Every structure is written in structure tokens, then in C-alpha cells.
Amino acid sequence: MAYLITFRCYGTWLHGDERGSVDDRHNQWGAPLLESDARLSRRRLRSMRSQRVSLDAAQRECVQQVLGEVARHRRWTIHAVNALSNRVHVVVTAVDDVNVEKIMSAFKAWSTRRLREQSLVSAQSPIWSEGGSTRYLWNEDSIQAACHYVTNQTDTTEPEALARAEGRTALADASGSVGHSRHTIHYKLRNHDLNNPYRDVEVWASPQEIDDFARDGFLVRHQVLSSDQIESMKAAVDEVAAADARQEVGSSRRFGGHFLRHLLEKHAAFHPLISCEALISVARAMLGPQIQMRGLTARISFPDQPNQETHWHFHQRLIPEPTPPFFMRPQSIDCLIYLDDADDKNGPLCVVPGSHNWTDRDLAGDDWSEKPGQQTLRVPAGTAVMCHGALWHRALPTTPEGTVRRLLILGFGACWLRPSIYGTKPEKSLIEPLLENADEPTRELLGAAGWM
């Protein structure tokens, strides 16, 4: 696994800055930044513990040298590094699936130690801002693009802020793309009864990301939910769980946890997903313009219960052998939306890239073994992993050291595909009122319109 890591010098980008900034309410992928606010910026400036840090040539050289030493000691591979006066960029591959936050912490801690040992900074003053940016790079193309980005950065270039303000991403998000903006697909719907209408879809991903999704069978989307939406949906999951006497409880090791079905019909807190273009537009790029939400399910895993994992499985089976001449392979997408962190304590997700194309291979049940080429995805709350319905995947167990982990599973399919068969819909659905003034694509999305 490779990462693009960026950490900034202390005081070089405060909330209220004219370039924009990110806070708990402005951190959704593709969303506008926190706007410039001179008074907020001045308040932040007054609250600083020391002067703003700007690295000179000797300090930058020291940082780059120590990053190389740390990487060699820990058997990491640095592909590119660039220490600037106000920030540090590094592209690094780590062995043994080391948590990227730990990699960044090690780089910052050892850089601080060495700078102080060489008397290049004060022993008491902070050097780095809190946290930093950690981006996942899934393939060689994304690593090369990240290296190009890093090596071409200067003190005056701030493309991430400018790009986010324009609604695109200049750094690599979890899917691994760098420097790509959104794009539009101009669909023609072949229906002579409706005069063959056209429909444009603005896709919140680059063409390369769409190609990667088609090849690998999954695409990771960071920050598809704001922090407020995460908390609201977590509370809604808990509320539905407390009131739902029919919730399914997976007691076997195959599928552990509690399952809640038809959540869009049960709680309005989930309705922002109906307009979540970071997911919907990508689904339309992969499946076509006329799609439906096949269902929204929650899976709750607990740290103090056994069997809180799943075996290797995939969702969309239904491929006979031999394949009939007119057989149409069902294609679907399931979005695994994490409301809690999926880390080693809470149970990360394992996937096998490309396995969605293995239509001629059998996957045995009760299989928890490691697979050749499998990838372990550790993602923060608010992240969605979009998976082809036939992708081989499994959830690792929630450990006693972890917390409750709430996962939403949002399915997409063509309008003609059958919705999810699981669970019983409530007699009074919260979806019906949304249809009254909905446009045609939204009615299709909610299962009320579409194919003839």
C-alpha cells in the first residue's frame, strides 16, 4: 500500500485563511471549503503558542534526510519527498499494512527530534501543525501521478485548496487519482416513444477513476459524509435498532452483527444519501443513467460479542454455467459507508481486486483464509467503499479493544433490477412523500419510475 502524506508547518494555514480551510463542517469530499474570514483568522493567529514556522534550506535538507532514515529503518520505500518552507510532501510504500497515520506521526516525530538535536529549531517551539493529509494510492499509475505532483510543488503552489474550492480534487483521494476534475457523460436514451432523449450526468470522479473501478471492482470515496451527517446517522441507526423488534442477529461466524433493513423508509436522517452525488453520479457512470437504490441496510458490530466478522463472500451471484446465449449478467454496486472508523480494532475490510470478473470461479463458504493479492482497507468514518456486487470481500472481526462499528450498505442497480429481498418494509414509508415533487431521475432512484 502506498500513501501520499502531507503535513504543514505550524501556523502556516489557519482557519479563516483567504485560501479557504477545512473544519468539522467543511470536510466532505468535493464540498466547498470554509470561506475566508479575516476575524476568524486573526483570532486563530492570536491563539498561537509561538511564531509561524518557515523552514530554511538547512532545515528542509535535515527533514528530507531524516525521512529517508526512518523509511530505511522501518523497511518503507519513499518514492518522492519534497520539504518546502511551509509543508512536507512524501509518497511512501509501507510493508505489513502499517496504519498511514502512524507513518505520518513517525515522520513528524523524528523530524522534530533531529531538528532539535542539530539546534536548527528551538527546543520548546512547535514545528508542525496538528494532523495532516493522508491519501491512499492503489496502483502504479496513481503512485506515478503522486510523485509528479510532489516533485513539482513549490512554496507558492497550493493546488489542493484552489481545486477544492472549484469542486475538484488536486491531491490523491482514496481511489488513488491525482489532479483530475469531474467530468460529464452525455447519455442518449434509446426510446423512440420518448423521441430518444438525452441526459447529462456530471460524474464526481475522473475518467481514470471510473476505469480503475471497472478494473478493480471497487472504488474508495473519502468524506462522502460531513461530520454532522455522520453523527446524525449514527444516532438514527441506534434509534432504529432500539425500536426494531425484527432486526436480524447474525450469530454465526459467517455473518456476525445486527442487521437493520429498509432504513430510507424508517428514518429521515438517511435521506441525504438520496442526493449524495459522490456516490450516485459514480453509480450512473458505471451502470447507466437510469438506476435505482436497491435498499439501505445497517450492520452493527460489537466489541464484546463473538463472531463479529464475515467470511469471504460476494453479493451478486446468479451466473449459471454454462452461460445461456441471451444471458444478461446482473450488475450492481454496493456502497459500504462507514459511520465509525474501520481500523484494526474495529475490523477493517478485505477485498480481492479484480475478483468481480471471476465469473467462472467458485467461492466456498466458511472461508476466512488470506487470498493472493488481497488488500486490507482501513478507512475513517465518513468513507464509502463502492464495490461491484460480485467483488470478493470480507470484514475482519471487531476486537475487544474496539468500539461499536456501524456500517451502512447502500445498493444501486439498473431500474429493471429487482430490489433487495431482505427484511420487511414498514407499513408507513418515509419515501412516499418524497415522490410528490421529485424529478424523473429521482423517481427512478427511489424505484417509482424507469424502464418500460
Q: Where are the domains of the chain?
A: 2-165, 198-445
Q: What is the pLDDT of residues 278-322, one digit of tens each?
A: 999 999 999 999 999 999 999 999 998 888 889 999 987 778 889
Find the mean pLDDT for residues 435-443: 90
HSE toward the beta carbon, residue 411, CA cutoff 13 A: 24
CA atoms within 13 A on the CB side of 67: 27
Which is it for strands 218-221 and 133-137: parallel, antiparallel or unpaired? unpaired
Helix (H) or strand (E) holding 88: strand 87-93
Identify any residues that bridge with 89 across adjacent strands, giving them in sequence order: 6, 82
What is the pLDDT, as a whole number, of residue 158? 52
Confidence band for 97, pLDDT divided at 50, 70 and 90: low
The whole-model pTM stands at 0.64
**Cell numbers at 84, concatenated:** 518546502
Q: Which fold has domain 198-445?
A: Jelly Rolls (2.60.120)
CB under 8 Å to 364, separation ≥6 — which residues? Answer: none
Cell output for 423: 427484511
Supply the pLDDT for residue 177.
30
Cell numbers given for 26: 467543511
2-165: CATH architecture: 2-Layer Sandwich (3.30)
The C-alpha cell that represents 322 in the structure block: 454454462
Domains 2-165 and 198-445 agree in fold: no
Contacts of residue 26, Cβ cutoff 8 Å, sequence gap at least 6? 32, 33, 34, 226
- Give 7 or 16, the one with higher predicted confidence: 7
What band does 126 get if pLDDT is binned at 50, 70 and 90? confident
User: What are the backbone angles phi and psi of residue 274, rounded to the nearest 5°?
Assistant: -70, -20
Name the average pLDDT for the chain: 83
pLDDT at 408: 98
Predicted confidence at residue 272, as pLDDT, reads 94
What single string gives the DSSP state of each residue in 50-74? SPPP---HHHHHHHHHHHHHHHHHT
**pLDDT for residue 27:** 42
Asked if pLDDT for residue 399 goes beyond 70, the answer is yes
Mean of the pLDDT values across residues 334-354? Answer: 94
**What is the chain's Cα-based Rg?**
24
Cα(430)–Cα(391) distance, integer angstroms: 31
pLDDT of residue 65: 93
* pLDDT above 90: percentage of residues in the chain: 48
The residue to which cell 423521441 is assigned: 195
- The mean per-residue pLDDT over the stretch 37-59 comes to 65
Report the range out of 13-17, 20-24, 59-63, 122-126 with the highest average pLDDT: 59-63
Pick the residue with more confidence: 42 or 442? 442
Q: Which residue has the higher pLDDT, 399 or 304?
A: 399
